[in-house]
């Protein structure tokens, strides 16, 4: 296992323990993150997102596999199983991650997953009917962004450098 494969492994092992501080330590301060819900997060926002997800995911189970990396880039697959709070529905999200590295840490992290598949599990019938649509995807993103902003408002350690 090379250094960057070990870094990815360390990141996901910390996630399995819901240790958002150890996860953030794997990132450069200028980290960029995106996924189908949180499309453009930078710097402290990324750590805040993982902190929020770790704190709220009381039954979160994370499994990871297929970790591969070279000197510049890496990939991994991970699965998250948890109860989606607003509906109480169980979600099993399958995610493919890609990474870019700089100076021994992650500088860019992109997670990819099927948002319509997620919405069917998380939202049930309404997600099945409209989860593929632009308006529903936009509503999911706005709701997640509001949750992150509220979380940041109650955690001063993330307030500098975040955008609203």
Provide mean pLDDT across the span 79-97. 95
Domain contains 123: yes
Phi, psi dihedrals of residue 46, rounded to the nearest 5° = -65, -50
Torsion angle of alpha carbons 63, 59, 54, 83, nearest 10°? 100
Could you please report the per-residue DSSP string of 97-130?
A: EEEEEETTEEEEEEEE--HHHHHHHHHTHHHHHH
| Tokens standing for residue 27 | 């990132």
In this structure, the strands spanning 105-112 and 27-34 are parallel
Confidence (pTM):
0.91
164 belongs to a structural domain: no
Q: What are phi and psi of 50, to 5 degrees?
A: -65, -40
Q: 117-160, pLDDT tens digit by residue?
A: 999 999 988 888 787 888 889 999 999 999 999 999 999 888 76
DSSP labels, 46-76: HHHHHHHHHHH-TT-EEEEEEEEE-SSEEEE
Q: Tell whether 136 is covered by a domain.
A: yes
- Domain interval for residue 101: 3-158
Evaluate whether residue 77 is within a structural domain: yes
In a domain, residue 30? The reply is: yes
For residue 77 the two structure tokens come to 């697959």
Identify whether 122 is part of a domain.
yes
| Total domains present in the chain | 1
Overall average pLDDT of the 49-71 stretch: 96
Residue 157's pLDDT is: 87
Percent pLDDT > 70 in the chain is 97
| Eight-class DSSP state of 133 | S
pLDDT, residue 59, reads 95
**Residue 133: predicted pLDDT:** 84
Looking at residue 119, which CATH number applies to its domain?
A: 3.10.450.50
Asked if residue 163 belongs to a domain, the reply is no
- pLDDT value of position 162: 42
> Roughly how many angstroms between the first and final C-alpha of the chain, as a whole number?
40
């Amino acid at each position: 296992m090379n250094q960057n494969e070990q870094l990815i492994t360390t990141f996901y092992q910390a996630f399995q323990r819901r240790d958002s501080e150890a996860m953030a330590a794997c990132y450069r301060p200028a980290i960029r993150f995106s996924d189908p819900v949180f499309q453009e997060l930078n710097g402290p926002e990324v750590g805040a997102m993982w902190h929020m997800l770790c704190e709220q995911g009381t039954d979160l189970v994370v499994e990871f596999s297929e970790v591969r990396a070279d000197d510049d880039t890496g990939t991994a697959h991970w699965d998250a199983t948890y109860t989606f709070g607003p509906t109480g529905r169980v979600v099993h999200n399958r995610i493919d991650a890609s990474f870019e590295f700089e100076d021994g840490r992650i500088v860019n992290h992109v997670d990819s997953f099927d948002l319509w598949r997620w919405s069917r599990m998380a939202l049930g019938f309404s997600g099945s009917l409209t989860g593929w649509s632009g308006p529903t995807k936009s509503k999911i993103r706005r709701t997640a962004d509001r949750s992150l902003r509220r979380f940041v408002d109650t955690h001063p350690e993330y307030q500098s450098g975040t955008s609203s």
